[in-house]
Structure 1
Amino acid sequence: MLSVLRDRRFAALFASQVASLLGTGILTVAIALLAARIAGDDAGLVLSIALTIRIATYVVVSPIATALLAGRSSRAVLVGADAARIVIALSLVLVTEAWQLYLAILLLQSASAVFTPTFQAAIPEVLPDEADYTAAQSLSRLAYDLESLVSPLLAAALVLVLPPAWLFAITALGFAASLAAVLLSRLELRTTVTGEPFVARLARGVRLIGTIESTRFLALLDAVVAAVYATVLVNTVVIALRFEGGADEVVAPLAVALALFGLGSIVLALVLPAMLRRVSDRAVMTAGAVAVIVALGLVAAVEAGPGLDLVALGVLWFALGAASSAVSTPSARLIRRDVAPGDRPAVFAARFSTSHAWYAVAYPLAGVGGALWGVAAATGVLAALALAVLVGAAAGARRASTPVHG
């Protein structure tokens, strides 16, 4: 898989993707701290709306941008998107009202919705060999998975040594590194104007996901991961506000919680290769989903009673990080094993969209539900959602494995 990095143009594009992902991951934590500053006790509600806008904007704008930008210079599109993201990220320092945050997220994610499909469309042109392209897709997917593991830990370290406002500068620096990598790629391609349209490819990928039992299993378990990230990204700041009693003092407990969540993810990811030599991918993912449900249930139960203290928060967030890593990390292996090489790009694209749909459900449940019913009830609903999809995935697997006699 790493052999494709010998291609200078793809290596530069991959570096651009990694820098962009890290910038986006750090931005999420910066937005959480900003929500605490401008909204106080309503930070969870404001943050969940901002994250939902981010998801919805990507889903809506991405296919429109793909069609409108067809035939234009890929390098110009990528550079323009990164330049816009740099300006918007820096402008977030000036935000003082929730509506300003929502507008900035809308604009920022619109630029990301331009960047991502253009990047994805450039890969098969840079790597026309099918084996190389498939390896590049797997490496790109691995970058998304690693970002979800590393970003919380990196952001936690940064907020402990830098003023929170500086996180926006670090985010802009990530997008600037992405822009520089695009320029170094010397990409001279134009975005695709022929071939399978984005919407058709997405529809084909969704049909493939529904047809193959293992990919249906993955698509359902994406809801479990969404429940974890909605709880961690939206309600950590709400819980942390209670410890110190003010937005100015929320940094330390938030950093500790996010660091332990990221550490749990990384520890599990490091032991997974040895584990997967003895246990099947599906068994590890199922065990991780069960652990998520138990951990979310404990969060709900403790919050309904005395409330989480910093020690309990750290322990449960470490467990959630490890459990979510067990669910998400093996998923690309299942796709590579069970999906034909020619169909993998469509399946990866479709799963990216279907997983976003789960986040569009989970973020409002965590934030709006937390504001209306409290963190305990909102987390309990997310635990119930995770349990329902796990039961559905297990039932589907049993039906698929049961021989039909006639």
Structure 2
Amino acid sequence: VNTVVLVQSNFGLSQQATAWALAAFGGGSMTAALLLPKTLERVTDRRAMVSGAVLMTAVLIAGALFARSYPVLIGLWIVMGFGYSLTITPAGRALRRSSTAAERPALFAAQFALSHACWLIAYPVAGLVSAEADPQMAFVVLAGLCGLGALLALFVWPAHDPLNLLHDHHDMEPDHAHLSEGMRPDAEGVAHAHPVVIDDNHRRWSKNRV
């Protein structure tokens, strides 16, 4: 949002320089997208996405302190694009894992709406803070928003998040049809392990027993 202001007003450069700055962000984003398929074979979606959010927070803080020249801005925008893609690209995998095939269209639509609602907040904040104060202050405010998102993700997304979640169903009879799904490792017959999504049998996210 503030690239034009930074490049053309603060640095007194041309529209072409603005385009190259935006291309730097795109280049960083494409680099992360190309590296992610192999990376996600070794790290979890949670680690990749939270790392991207933390990286963007660090770039925004660095921007408030050091974005005083065009070369520095180019470097920051490359890293920012990398962090952005690191956060956004695995989101589809997380959504697919959290839903059944029948629910996915609604879930993806909800995620699309929520992401645009966040942009509806962040875009005016970036522009208004930059206009009323200065671009450096906009860096600080947006770093706060980004850091808050990273902390929220760490809080609501368990670090230990296995695909097959061992959980209890003490409200079900041992012969309930749902309990025949997955593995049943306990003698009581009310616990089993399988991929969990929120549905009629799982009204809230179960805590892993292991």
Equivalent of 2:34 in 233, 247, 270: 270
Equivalent of 1:380 in 127, 132, 140: 140
Q: How many residues align?
A: 165
Residue of structure 2 in register with 1:352 after alignment: 112
Q: Deviation of residue 269 (structure 1)?
A: 0.7
The yes-or-no answer on 1:329 pairing with 2:89 is yes
Residue of structure 2 in register with 1:91 after alignment: none
Which structure's relative contact order is higher, taking Cα pairs within 8 Å and 6+ residues apart?
Answer: 1
Separation in structure 1 between the aligned mates of residue 208 and residue 25 of structure 2, nearest angstrom: 44
Give the 3-state SS of the residue equivalent to 1:341 in structure 2: coil
Residue of structure 2 in register with 1:238 after alignment: 5
Residue of structure 1 in register with 2:199 after alignment: none
Residue of structure 2 in register with 1:261 after alignment: 25
Q: Deviation of residue 386 (structure 1)?
A: 1.0
Equivalent of 2:51 in 287, 291, 295: 287
The residue identity in structure 2 corresponding to 1:282 is R
Instruction: From the superposition, tell whether residues 399 and 269 of structure 1 become closer, same or farther in structure 2 (CA, over 3 Å).
Output: closer
Instruction: Give CA deviations for 1:121-179 in whole Å, capped at 9, x if unaligned.
Output: xxxxxxxxxxxxxxxxxxxxxxxxxxxxxxxxxxxxxxxxxxxxxxxxxxxxxxxxxxx
Separation in structure 2 between the aligned mates of residue 399 and residue 273 of structure 1, nearest angstrom: 21
Identity value in percent:
37
Equivalent of 1:364 in 110, 113, 124: 124
Asked if structure 2 preserves the Cα contact closer than 8 Å seen for 1:236 and 1:254, the reply is yes
The yes-or-no answer on 1:297 pairing with 2:64 is no
Asked if structure 2 preserves the Cα contact closer than 8 Å seen for 1:237 and 1:250, the reply is no
Structure 2 unaligned blocks of 5 or more: 162-205
> TM-score, normalised to structure 1's length?
0.39
Q: Deviation of residue 244 (structure 1)?
A: 5.5
Q: Deviation of residue 286 (structure 1)?
A: 1.0
> TM-score, normalised to structure 2's length?
0.73
Separation in structure 1 between the aligned mates of residue 46 and residue 158 of structure 2, nearest angstrom: 13
Structure 1 unaligned blocks of 5 or more: 1-233
Give the 3-state SS of the residue equivalent to 1:336 in structure 2: helix
Asked if structure 2 preserves the Cα contact closer than 8 Å seen for 1:366 and 1:378, the reply is yes
Instruction: From the superposition, tell whether residues 383 and 243 of structure 1 become closer, same or farther in structure 2 (CA, over 3 Å).
Output: closer
The residue identity in structure 2 corresponding to 1:364 is P
Instruction: Give CA deviations for 1:286-343 in whole Å, capped at 9, x if unaligned.
Output: 11111000001101122xxxx5211101100000000000000111111122210000
Asked if structure 1 preserves the Cα contact closer than 8 Å seen for 2:8 and 2:14, the reply is yes
Give the 3-state SS of the residue equivalent to 2:103 in structure 1: helix
Separation in structure 2 between the aligned mates of residue 386 and residue 355 of structure 1, nearest angstrom: 13
- RMSD (CA atoms): 2.1
Give the 3-state SS of the residue equivalent to 2:157 in structure 1: helix
Asked if structure 1 preserves the Cα contact closer than 8 Å seen for 2:29 and 2:82, the reply is yes
The residue identity in structure 2 corresponding to 1:240 is V
